[in-house]
Structure 1
Amino acid sequence: MEKRKINRGCMEANTLAIIDSSAEFYNHKDSQEAKDDRIDFLEAVRTTSIVPEHGTPPTKKMVEAVFQILKAGESLELIMSSYELLNEIENRFPRVYISESSGNGSRELVVVKEAWLPFVVSLDVMSSEKETKRRNPPGLFDPNGFHELLLGIAEMTYKTISQRLDTKFLGNMLLFQYLVNVLEGDFVPRINMYKESLNWNFLRECLLNMLLVSRRINYKVLMKDCLFTICSLCQDYAGNRNESDCSKTSIEKSPENHNTDVAIALLEVQRTTCMAMQKFMIMIMELDESKQQASMLGQINRSDGARTQLVEIILDELTYYRKVLPQFLQVFNDPKRKLEIIVQYLLKYTSKPSVRTRRSNGSSEDSSFLGILKSFTEISSTKNIIKKLNVEVVQLLLAHAFLAYTSMSSQQPLSSMPNCNEAVIASSSLVEISKNVAAAFNSLRKADEKIQISSLGKEALFTAAMIISTS
């Protein structure tokens, strides 16, 4: 055991010496020697910790050195290699996990407190900024630094594709993705334990909660930045921009492009950044739900802070900035959350559905969706809804909601239900929803004879027809 410790120390000393020996070259961007040394360092860490079946966890200094290489963003090769290595370390040596006792079968949350973290956060929301800076090691992310990183990405999305062909921008997007992966690795086991025990302490101490309760960030602005950034980024890889240089082919042929590798990687990294932002927002929604439940159980105190639920912020922004609604619905693909948001959005413009009297296997949003669909049974009611919104927006919302509903149904097949009665109820619910979707689109046609059904609307109608015909 002692020999293993010595080897770890030698490994740390030798690999960090690679970084220190090339420090004089580090300020020269074109220093190939410095880049080669860092590539050798990353490979040494991977060979020692990741490649062996029982690899040795890298020390804090080694992981921090890999992290600083990613932050520096010196070259595409260094950015991609350090990003991949950091995620491999996260997966191989988790900081937080659930351990099952072999004796009584109980489960407990294990937190490796000595593990390195890229974040410096605290539940002490009253501490001063000066005191926080004194405690924070340089180079790590505090809540304000995390917001600044996201803000920098958001500002770049408003620039042309050619202006974005920069390794620093690409590196910042991958850096954001890594930080979200760290938050997820900490959050998932904690919320699983919370769902089993309903003990809010599991989530009170999670990195995500401590990040959001900090007084050093404007929570609403942070969430708005996330919303508008994913809507802006998704336009590029979905081909919705009007700019002539948004396609992959035109990027590669751009006369301003001096790095074809960066150009090729840009669209894919933007796509995965959108996915990371969605993951970030969904975790916050789950945290909001759990916090609301914990509040009803009397477990919330002043240290937990108070903030508006993310779903409400999204609804407000989509209401006042309706032009981003198509982009948001296109990129936000979590069916449960999408259905919830659309239902709440439409409830602002339709009569409220009746109270549910018999609970099926679906969520409460399912019954609300059915109630909304029934608001289209009368032409006068349909015309009133179209007047408040417009026919294009209404069919967009109905189509996305129905496809999200069918996606949720497919994720829980009838064969997995515990008894026949529940299966029959769920099947009937899906058929009923399908019939009402078809009826709603027919009502839209009667209310607006000039309506042109979108491709997504046609897909929804085709799906509904198939469900009805096979019921």
Structure 2
Amino acid sequence: MPMMTELLFSKLCVRLHFCQKINRHRHCKPLLSISSHTSKMCEAIFKILRFGKSLELISTSYQLLNELDRQFPRVYMMNTNGSSMPHELVVVQEAWTPFVLGTDISDSERAAANDLTSGLLDSQGFHQLLQGLAEVSDVENFQALDTKVLSNMLLFHYLVNALEGDFVPRNQMYKETMNWVLVRESLLNMILCSRKMNYKGLMKDCVTTLCGFGQFLAEYDNAVQSSETSMAKQPKAIDTALATAFLHFGRLTCAAMLKLMVMVLEVDLSKKNADMQGHITRADGVRTPLAEIIQDELAYDKNILAPFLQVFKDSKWKLEIIVQFFWKYMSKPSVRTRRSNGPAEDATFSGVLKCISNSSSTKSITKKIGAHAIHLLLAHGFQAFLLLSTKQTVEDIPVSKEQMAGGSVVETCKNLILVFNCLRTLDKQLEISSCAKEAIFVAANIVSKKL
């Protein structure tokens, strides 16, 4: 096995070096000469990533697979000349993929997908992998680390990269053409629509894993930075070399989990737009949008609210989730039909602040979700709002009406201060959290500079 692995890696490195030299001279499109030899090498390396016994083999196979995907993309967009459409989507049908998906897959192929002799994964195998990561993310299980756990973490990161490489160009092309079939046939959408997998369970495991790893890594970083924390007070696993690798791989897992969730949110948005245009059929199925699942999880378990808001770094979707969370507990607009149901005019962060900036509405929302939750949601929502506003101003990037409409930055700052004043009026003994104090300070600074 070691000799075969060494020979495989050496051959592949030579091939990749040759491909890179060609690509540097072409300056146009990726090298797409896919051969059966290349596919066999990919599959062999993927098996090493899944079932390798050493960190060196696992890490090397992970790096080689990512390099192969860069050299041999399965899906990419190509500029067109003299055409009505600026881009053309190229799908390399013969390209190797780590997934066994689709309705035309035989039962024998599905049965072999998760066999130790075959490295490929189906939707059920992908969910089982994520379930394993969710179990490891539990603080009580952090001590039970082994090479297999680290292998699964890198495996998950690679699979998400593969899903991203397939989905992003498809979704970008969908925005240009409004052809829903492009997204429907993506690997990610096929996984989400698979009847072999519990979709809601998969999404809940995403939230659990993201919060678990994020909380552990944050606590570890705080422990390292604190001079008062002795080594005896730190988790025992931190003293081991295995746990050092776990910390690095844990950050990769958090990044991959966030990337996966953002892609699912984008799929939901594209599907909603396609449904508004009448392009969705029964074959697409019906599933609860991830944003609603996240809101339910945060409402059900308030203990994960702070970790989730801390580790969920995507400002666009964080703001959207926070706004929807508030509107879930506020008065609803009149009922409209499914396809005519666009976003309400005030369904924005500024609109939320306006609605809860009087004593009666503040009291009502506080009873439903609690003052502590309001502090966290408003502080993180305000931070995301400012980041999006800055990005829009500096890079001249348009931000959706649902996220930014309903008031200027100064008006939003004033309304934020007004809401916290209402909270203080309701409870004189209320202790303002540190993140809320920071938000109020920033808002007051912005307002004072504009006066």
TM-score, with length taken from structure 2: 0.84
Deviation string, structure 1 residues 51-75 (Cα, Å, up to 9, x no partner): 7422786710111111111111311
8 A Cα contact 2:315 2:387, kept in partner:
yes
In the alignment, is the contact (CA less than 8 A) between 1:162 and 1:257 conserved in 2?
no
Contact residue 235 and residue 241 of structure 1 kept, 8 A: no
CA contact (8 A) 2:113 2:122 kept: no
CA 469–258 in structure 1, closer or farther in 2 if over 3 Å, else same = closer
- Aligned-partner Cα distance in 2 for 1:348–1:76: 46
Tell whether the 8 Å contact from 1:100 to 1:108 is kept in structure 2 after alignment.
yes
Structure number with larger C-alpha Rg: 1
Q: Which residue of 2 aligns with 1:29?
A: none
Q: State whether residues 163 and 188 of structure 2, in contact with CA within 8 Å, keep that contact through their aligned partners in structure 1.
A: yes
Paired residues of 1:50 and 1:88 also in contact (CA < 8 A): no
Aligned to 2:79: 100
Query: Residue 381 of structure 2 corresponds to which residue in structure 1?
Result: 401
Equivalent residue number for residue 340 of structure 2: none
Q: Distance in 1 between matches of 2:397 and 2:207?
A: 36
Distance 2:65 2:176 in 1: 30
How far apart are the structure 1 equivalents of 2:197 and 2:232? 36
Q: CA deviation at 1:312?
A: 1.4
Segment of structure 1 superposing worse, 399-408 or 73-82: 73-82
Instruction: State the partner residue of 1:197.
Output: 177
Instruction: Check if 1:327 corresponds to 2:307.
Output: yes
What pairs with 1:66-77 in structure 2 (closer than 5 Å)? Answer: 66-77=45-56
**Cross-structure match for 1:440:** 419
* 2:327–2:347 contact (8 Å) kept in structure 1: no
Displacement after TM superposition at 1:114 (Å): 1.2
The residue type equivalent to 2:213 in the other structure is L
2:152 match: 172
Q: What is the percent sequence identity of the aligned residues?
A: 48
Q: Does 1:42 align with 2:22?
A: no
1:116 aligns with 2:96: yes
* Cα distance, 1:267–1:197 mapped onto 2, change above 3 Å: same
Query: What is the distance in 1 between the residues matched to 2:233 and 2:427?
Result: 44
Q: How far 1:46 moved relative to its partner?
A: 2.3
- Judge which range, 235-244 or 215-224, deviates more: 235-244
Q: Distance in 2 between matches of 1:427 and 1:382?
A: 19
Give 1:208 shift. Answer: 0.7
User: Offset of 1:162 from its aligned partner?
Assistant: 5.3
> In 2, distance between residues paired with 1:249 and 1:114?
56
Q: Which residue of 2 aligns with 1:266?
A: 246
1:153-164 matched pairs, under 5 angstroms: 153-158=133-138, 160=140, 163-164=143-144
Q: Distance in 2 between matches of 1:204 and 1:306?
A: 13
> Structure 2 vs 1, CA of residues 257 and 330 (structure 1 numbering), >3 Å: closer, same or farther?
closer
379-388 or 271-280, which deviates more: 379-388
Which one-letter code corresponds to 1:273 in the other structure? T
Aligned amino acid, residue 352 of structure 2: I
SS in 2 for 1:212: helix
Match among 49, 62, 76 for residue 41 of structure 2:
62
Answer yes or no: is the 8 Å Cα contact 1:213–1:305 preserved in 2: yes
Which residue, out of 56, 59, 62, partners 1:83? 62
SS of equivalent to 1:216:
coil
Provide the aligned C-alpha RMSD in A.
3.4
Distance 2:107 2:199 in 1: 17
Q: What residue is the counterpart of 1:431 in the other structure?
A: 410
SS in 2 for 1:449: coil
Q: Which moved more, 1:176-185 or 1:57-66?
A: 57-66
**Which letter maps to 2:194?**
S
Tell me by how many angstroms 1:334 deviates. Answer: 1.0
**What is residue 325 of structure 2 aligned with on the other side?**
345
On the 8 A contact 1:340/1:365 being kept in 2, the answer is no
**How far apart in 2 are the matches of 1:135 and 1:268?**
29
Per the alignment, residue 130 of structure 2 pairs with: 150
Q: Partner letter of residue 109 of structure 1?
A: L
Report the Cα distance in structure 2 between the residues aligned to 1:249 and 1:67, rounded to whole angstroms. Answer: 41
Distance 1:100 1:242 in 2: 48
Query: Does the residue aligned with 1:116 lie in a helix, a strand or coil?
Result: coil
Q: Which runs of 5+ in 1 are unaligned?
A: 1-21, 23-33, 355-362
Match runs of 1:232-247 below 5 Å: 232-239=212-219
Q: Distance in 1 between matches of 2:96 and 2:204?
A: 30
- Any idea what the Cα deviations from partners look like across 1:136-172, whole Å, max 9, x if unmatched? 9932000111011111111122254652431110110
Q: Contact conserved, 2:47 with 2:118, CA < 8 A, in 1?
A: no
Match of residue 31 from structure 1: none
1:123–1:210 contact (8 Å) kept in structure 2:
no
* Corresponding position of 2:285: 305
Please tell me whether the aligned partners of residues 99 and 109 of structure 1 are also in contact (alpha carbons under 8 angstroms): yes
TM-score normalized with structure 1 length: 0.81
The alignment of Structure 1 onto Structure 2 pairs a total of residues equal to 422
